[in-house]
Amino acid sequence: MTGSEILAPLSLPGDRAEWPSWLADRCTRALAEAAGLRTEVAGSAPDEALSLWNRLHTELGNAFAVAELVAQVHPDAAVREQAEQIEVDATRFRTELMLDAAVFAALTAVPNDTLDDAGRRALEHSLRDFRRAGVDLDAETRARLREINEREVELGQAFSRGIRDGKGVTTLPAAAAAGLPQDWIDEHPVDAKGEFTLTTEYPDTVPFLKFASDDAARREVLRTQYAVAWPGNDTVLQELLDLRHEHAQLLGYADWAEYDAEVKMIGGGAAIGEFIDGIAADALAAGERELAILLERARQDDPATSAIDSSNWRHYAEVVRREQFDVDAQEVR
């Protein structure tokens, strides 16, 4: 494959009916190519293994990239489900790949002294990832890791699905739309009862929380938004967290944070909390000054306002920008 072919724009189906076959063909073909390259890597000479390994991951990455995107954004539920199943299949392939002793041995045999700096880094990280997958553990542990990997993907999909598909609706009196742009009001007509509805979708909720002057209505809209995927996702999340903890401990790590952070810029699990605490400490004084400005402005509308919270900070930040700095988001947009 040439560089121009690798960088060619993705051509998507023009007809919605073509999506299932297009998705299956593209991703199935990529996984089949990856499977063939896996066999080639396992039987390759040391001077060929790394190049084949790179091509394998290009094919696998192509399958994941398309499936993950389509699973999140395609308007057809059946196509999203098809893409989710491809994600599961690709994850199963990747798990088996990273537990493949023959492929690991082939890469281990690649001599470092024949590689440039980028090649040595790629090889070092690849061998590290094999060990992080558990390639050198006993058969029973590897079998359990296979189960965990697949279930983690299923739970992650279920969690995302709950948020994506679990849309909520808030019904409010017509007066609650005061402050919203006219085009937003026109898109939310009032019914015979004198009420309108808005969903938890971004174009509905965010403008409402920013521009609506009705404090009680903003709280009701935010409450609906926060209830999306609840309580179902609680169970999903708890199982996912439990599995991740078991996953990390099977591989010799204290917990998931320590395992996951090892290959991230943060370096270690303990550093995550330290970083957050440091940022919070550095931002505290500035944050308190800004909250005081917002609270002062909120009390001009209602002297009983006791705090700036998730339901009113967007609104009063917008009001302050408009009144003190002559920046009106409705004009900017």
- Token pair, residue 163, equals 């948020």
Reported as a single tens digit per residue, the pLDDT across 26-65 is: 999 999 999 999 999 999 999 999 999 999 999 999 999 9
* CA atoms of 107 and 49, how far apart (whole Å): 6
Reported as a single tens digit per residue, the pLDDT across 60-81 is: 999 999 999 999 999 999 999 9
Question: What pLDDT, on the 0 to 100 scale, is given for residue 332?
Answer: 84
Secondary structure (3-state) at 99? coil
> Can you name the residues that pair with 295 across neighbouring β-strands?
none
More confident residue, 9 or 250: 250
Cβ–Cβ under 8 Å, residues 278 and 271: no
* CA atoms of 238 and 231, how far apart (whole Å): 12
State the chain's mean pLDDT as an integer: 95
pTM: 0.86
CA torsion 245-249-254-257 (nearest 10°) is -40
What are the C-alpha distances in Å from 22 to residues 25, 29, 70? 5, 11, 12
For residue 212, give every residue at least 6 positions away whose Cβ sits within 8 Å of its Cβ, in sequence order, or none.
Answer: 176, 177, 178, 179, 180, 218, 221, 315
Report the run of H or E that residue 173 belongs to, with start and end: strand 169-173
DSSP state of 15: S
User: Look-up: residue for tokens 């400490």?
Assistant: 281
User: Has residue 124 got a pLDDT over 80?
Assistant: yes
Reported as a single tens digit per residue, the pLDDT across 235-287 is: 999 999 999 999 999 999 999 999 999 999 999 999 999 999 999 999 999 99
Secondary structure (3-state) at 308? coil
Say which amino acid occupies 254: A
Structure confidence at residue 184 as a pLDDT band (50, 70, 90): very high
Reported as a single tens digit per residue, the pLDDT across 301-311 is: 999 999 999 99
User: Has residue 6 got a pLDDT over 60?
Assistant: no
CA torsion 162-164-166-171 (nearest 10°) is 150
Question: What pLDDT, on the 0 to 100 scale, is given for residue 9?
Answer: 75
Reported as a single tens digit per residue, the pLDDT across 262-273 is: 999 999 999 999
User: Has residue 7 got a pLDDT over 70?
Assistant: no
Structure confidence at residue 137 as a pLDDT band (50, 70, 90): very high
Cβ–Cβ under 8 Å, residues 95 and 144: no
Cβ–Cβ under 8 Å, residues 294 and 311: no
Q: Which of 311, 314, 316 shows the shortest CA–CA distance to 295?
A: 316
Structure confidence at residue 107 as a pLDDT band (50, 70, 90): very high
- Token pair, residue 218, equals 């903003």
Question: What pLDDT, on the 0 to 100 scale, is given for residue 1?
Answer: 46
Cβ–Cβ under 8 Å, residues 294 and 307: no
